[in-house]
């Protein structure tokens, strides 16, 4: 077992995978259908398991995302189904979800909108952690919204408050117009990568373009998002938007320039990098 994992980690490292040992262990645990910690007490790997492991390892070395190979992505207290056609949720986004849940504390039945929901990570985490929340997840990409719906059904079946999944463009002036001025919280992890930026192969080759590219400065979609959020939010309602670490000044400045928000603040991720901007509707 140790030799198998050591060789697998070396192969992944030589292929440029950032966390080779962890990925090797997670892939082997997936093939064995056991928790990763269980690998410590296992000695032998059956030949058919080793063969399946080698096949997955080759795909990971070719930079297929780990989550596409396992079909799952952990996010806060949930495990979401992911695969080709949907943006894989990142650990950094968990902090935006945590901020959102904290802002909703004490509100019995808050109205929440997640713009550009993808896998549903933000929307479903909020519904899971605040059972009284009435959450709407909006997704524009026809491929990604199938994952949104799948995960929403799975979480509702597990007993969470159902989340409404709505097809739509977050910059559409008529999007959710029936909710204008009533929403307590809008959150979004929008496409914010500047056009032409260098990104890892896992991202460039496998994340859907609609979830990535945000125009020349990465903020083209955010400009339309701000108009939609300002329309939807009630006075005093909150806004949270994730951004690239290079946008820790430009995105807050954009929110301030809109004129419809106060208390604009930027927040770092666990590595200390600028990660998301929050504001209050005036």
Q: What is the pLDDT of residue 44?
A: 83
Same domain, 101 and 240: yes
pLDDT score of 3: 87
Phi–psi pair at 264, nearest 5 degrees: -75, 125
Q: Are residues 165 and 258 in the same domain?
A: yes
21, 36, 62 - which closes a domain: 62
Distance of CA 52 to the CA centre of its chain: 28
Q: Is residue 67 part of a domain?
A: no
Q: Are 151 and 211 members of one domain?
A: yes
Q: Do 82 and 197 share a domain, yes or no?
A: yes
What confidence tens digit (pLDDT) does each residue in 253-269 have? 999 999 999 999 999 99
Q: How many domains does the chain have?
A: 2
pTM for the predicted model, two decimal places: 0.94
Best CA proximity match to 138, nearest among 174, 91, 99, 100: 174
Is 269 a domain residue?
yes
Per-residue pLDDT of the chain (282 residues; tens, 9 = 90+): 778 999 999 999 999 999 999 999 999 999 999 999 999 888 788 999 999 999 999 999 999 999 999 999 999 999 999 999 999 999 999 999 999 999 999 999 999 999 999 999 999 999 999 999 999 999 999 999 999 999 999 999 999 999 999 999 999 999 999 999 999 999 999 999 999 999 999 999 999 999 999 999 999 999 999 999 999 999 999 999 999 999 999 999 999 999 999 999 999 998 999 999 999 999
Task: Give, as one character, the DSSP assignment of residue 120.
Answer: T
138 is a domain residue: yes
pLDDT recorded at residue 36:
92
Measured from the Cβ of residue 60, the count of other Cβ atoms closer than 10 Å reads: 23
Indicate if 139 and 264 belong to the same structural domain.
yes
Closest CA to 29 of 84, 69, 59, 78: 69
Same domain, 17 and 80: no
CATH of residue 38: 1.10.8.10
State whether 23 and 136 are in the same domain.
Answer: no
Same domain, 100 and 227: yes
Residues 95 and 37 in one domain: no
Return the pLDDT at 122.
98
The total of other beta-carbon atoms located within 10 Å of residue 265's CB is 11
Give the H/E segment covering residue 74: strand 72-75
Does 275 reside within a domain?
A: yes
Residue 249 located in a structural domain: yes
Judge whether 242 lies within some domain: yes
Domain of residue 181, residue span: 76-281
Q: What is the pLDDT of residues 193-238, one digit of tens each?
A: 999 999 999 999 999 999 999 999 999 999 999 999 999 999 999 9
């Amino acid at each position: 077992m140790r030799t198998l994992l050591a060789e697998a980690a070396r192969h992944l490292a030589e292929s440029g995978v950032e966390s080779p040992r962890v990925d090797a262990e997670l892939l082997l645990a997936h093939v064995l259908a056991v928790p990763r910690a269980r690998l410590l007490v296992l000695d032998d790997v059956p030949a058919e398991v080793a063969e399946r492991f080698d096949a997955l390892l080759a795909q990971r070395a070719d930079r297929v995302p780990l989550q596409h190979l396992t079909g799952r992505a952990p996010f806060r207290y949930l495990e979401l189904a992911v695969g080709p056609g949907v943006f894989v949720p990142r650990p950094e986004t968990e902090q935006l979800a945590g901020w959102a849940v904290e802002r909703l504390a004490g509100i019995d039945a808050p109205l929440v909108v997640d713009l550009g929901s993808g896998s549903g990570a933000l929307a479903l985490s909020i519904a899971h952690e605040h059972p009284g929340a009435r959450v709407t997840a909006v997704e524009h990409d026809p491929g990604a919204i199938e994952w949104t719906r799948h995960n929403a059904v799975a979480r509702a079946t597990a007993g969470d408050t159902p989340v409404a999944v709505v097809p739509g463009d977050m910059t559409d002036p008529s999007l959710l117009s029936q909710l204008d001025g009533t929403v307590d919280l809008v959150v979004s992890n929008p496409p914010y990568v500047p056009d032409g930026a260098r990104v890892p192969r896992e991202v460039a080759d496998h994340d859907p373009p609609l979830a990535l590219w945000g125009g020349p400065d990465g903020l083209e979609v955010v400009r339309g998002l701000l108009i939609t959020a300002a329309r939807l939010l009630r006075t005093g309602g909150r806004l949270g938007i994730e951004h690239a670490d290079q946008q820790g000044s430009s995105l807050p400045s954009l929110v301030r320039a809109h004129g419809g928000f106060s208390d604009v603040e930027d927040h770092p991720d666990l590595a200390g990098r600028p990660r998301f901007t929050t504001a209050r509707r005036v």
